[in-house]
């Protein structure tokens, strides 16, 4: 059995080497995913690739299909990666960071641009429309995929079109009207979002900056931002807030290992140091069970659980 596993592993390594031929970006084998996630949790990926540019992404996705290797793209801020990590190729768009301005208050951002960077750019160009997203740490692509949102707005309010690298290695653009957005989801073709057009509007720089600063202060006051987390753990139940429900069940401060339900915001689980994915999962089970017992509400996960147990 052990022999078979080793043989299988060797076959995967061979397929990986073939699939990665011709990739121009950085390649890191056996990369600890805790270094790529805001939770600072996660076992190793067989390989993390940071493609050099959009063409490199397209080449990589076609190669992984050809060599039948699983592929996962991350920004890393809404993920709980299990302790045995992710098999196959993990892609980070860390090198896709260009922002271009187009006529009519439109910004084009490559997929790896972080929301904080994009908001900073919009402020400098006096472009309004993204203030609601101040404090969301994900990439612009990840925010489209998740239709990230706050009580002030959602990604779908600003997306004009997206650019995707498809499994056959082509790059295609899709208008926002062809995408169905829902609560923390978007129906997209299979592939990798490599760019996003955002329709913003001209505004007054001082006003935009003030709204962003006020919102960041509000977040600092109400969210545990000094400890690693993946943001909100649960989706809000209809007409209620998951944080309120968890707090009302008396679960603030409850812990498993170094994973703790934040005492500042009950819908955050924070990593106080060496929390594992198993610790977080046990804590999630505990919270769900007790909330269901006390209120009848079945909390659904907002964060994405990925990788091998
Ligand atoms: C402190 C903190 C505060 C947060 N506040 C908010 C908030 O107010 N509102 C909110 O909605 N979220 C919030 N989040 C969660 C998170 O930032 C968002 O969900 C964000 O949209 C995730 O982006 P990401 O790039 O990190 O994607 P990831 O979390 O890595 O991935 C999310 C999903 O998108 C997929 N994906 C990522 N990039 C691509 C791509 N280029 N192409 C195709 N698929 C892709 C992944 O495979 C995965 O399925 C917060 C997180 C933290 C840590």
What was the pLDDT predicted at 4?
A: 57
Predicted pLDDT of residue 2: 44
Question: Which parts of the chain are beta strand (E)?
Answer: 26-32, 44-50, 71-74, 79-81, 86-92, 99-102, 106-110, 127-128, 149-150, 153-154, 159-165, 171-175, 180-182, 185-187, 192-199, 201-202, 255-256, 259-261, 269-271, 304-306
Q: What is the CATH number of the domain that holds 16?
A: 3.30.43.10
Q: What is the CATH number of the domain that holds 254?
A: 3.90.78.10
Residues 216 and 104 in one domain: yes
Q: Do 232 and 134 share a structural domain?
A: no
- Report residues whose beta carbon is within 6 angstroms of any ligand 1 atom: 38, 72-79, 93, 111, 136-139, 141-143, 145-146, 148-150, 192-193, 225, 229-231, 304
Summary count for the chain: helices (H), strands (E): 7, 20
Out of 221, 249, 277, a domain closes at 221
Could you read off the pLDDT of 48-63 as tens digits, one per residue? Answer: 999 999 999 999 999 9
Instruction: With cut-offs at 50, 70 and 90, classify the pLDDT of residue 1.
Output: very low
Contact predicate 80/40, CB 8 Å:
no
Q: Which atom of ligand 1 is nearest to the CA of 133?
A: 8
Domain boundary among 43, 71, 92: 92
Residues 68 and 111 grouped into a single domain: no
Output the CA 7–ligand 1 centroid distance in Å.
36
pLDDT at 9: 76
User: pTM for the whole thing?
Assistant: 0.96
Residue 171 maps to which CATH number? 3.30.465.10
Domain count along the chain: 3
Asked if 106 and 216 sit in the same domain, the reply is: yes
In this structure, the answer to whether residues 287 and 205 fall within a common structural domain is no
* 111 and 213 co-located in one domain: yes
User: Mind listing the pLDDT tens digit for each residue in 92-141?
Assistant: 999 999 999 999 999 999 999 999 999 999 999 999 999 999 999 999 99
Both tokens of 159, joined, read 């997306």
Q: Do 249 and 216 reside in the same domain of the chain?
A: no
Q: 228 and 217, same structural domain?
A: no
Co-location of 255 and 294 in the same domain? yes
Q: Which of 221, 248, 274 corresponds to the end of one domain?
A: 221
Same domain, 245 and 300: yes
Distance 268 CA to ligand 1 centre (A): 15
Residues 64 and 146 in one domain: no
* Alpha carbon nearest to ligand 1 atom 1, residue: 231
pLDDT at 255: 98
Mean pLDDT over all residues of the chain? 96
Q: Domain of residue 25: give its range.
A: 2-92
């Amino acid at each position: 059995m052990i022999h078979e596993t080793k043989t299988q592993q060797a076959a995967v390594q061979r397929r990986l080497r073939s699939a990665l031929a011709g990739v121009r970006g950085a390649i890191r084998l056996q990369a600890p995913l805790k270094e790529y996630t805001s939770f600072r949790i996660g076992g190793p990926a067989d390989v993390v690739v940071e493609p050099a540019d959009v063409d490199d992404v397209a080449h990589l996705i076609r190669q992984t299909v050809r060599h039948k290797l699983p592929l996962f793209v991350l920004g890393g801020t809404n993920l709980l990666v299990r302790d045995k990590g992710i098999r196959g190729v993990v892609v980070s768009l860390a090198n896709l960071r260009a922002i271009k301005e187009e006529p009519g208050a439109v910004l084009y951002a490559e997929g790896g641009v972080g929301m904080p960077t994009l908001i900073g750019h919009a402020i400098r160009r006096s472009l309004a429309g993204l203030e609601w997203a101040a404090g969301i740490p994900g990439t612009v692509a990840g925010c489209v995929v998740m239709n990230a949102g706050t009580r002030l707005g959602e990604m779908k309010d600003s997306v004009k079109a997206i650019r995707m690298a498809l499994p056959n290695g082509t790059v295609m653009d899709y208008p926002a009207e062809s995408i169905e957005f829902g609560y923390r989801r978007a129906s997209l073709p299979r592939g990798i979002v490599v760019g996003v057009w955002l329709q913003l509007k001209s505004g007054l720089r001082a006003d935009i900056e003030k709204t962003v600063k006020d919102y960041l202060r509000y977040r600092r006051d109400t969210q545990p931002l000094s400890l690693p987390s993946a943001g909100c753990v649960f989706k809000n139940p209809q007409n209620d807030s998951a944080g309120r429900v968890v707090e009302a069940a008396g679960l603030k401060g409850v812990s498993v290992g170094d994973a703790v339900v934040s005492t500042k915001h009950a819908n955050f689980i924070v990593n106080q140091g060496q929390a594992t994915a198993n610790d977080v999962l046990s804590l999630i089970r505990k919270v769900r069970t007790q909330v269901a017992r006390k209120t009848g509400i079945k909390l659904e996960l907002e964060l994405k659980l990925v990788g091998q147990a």
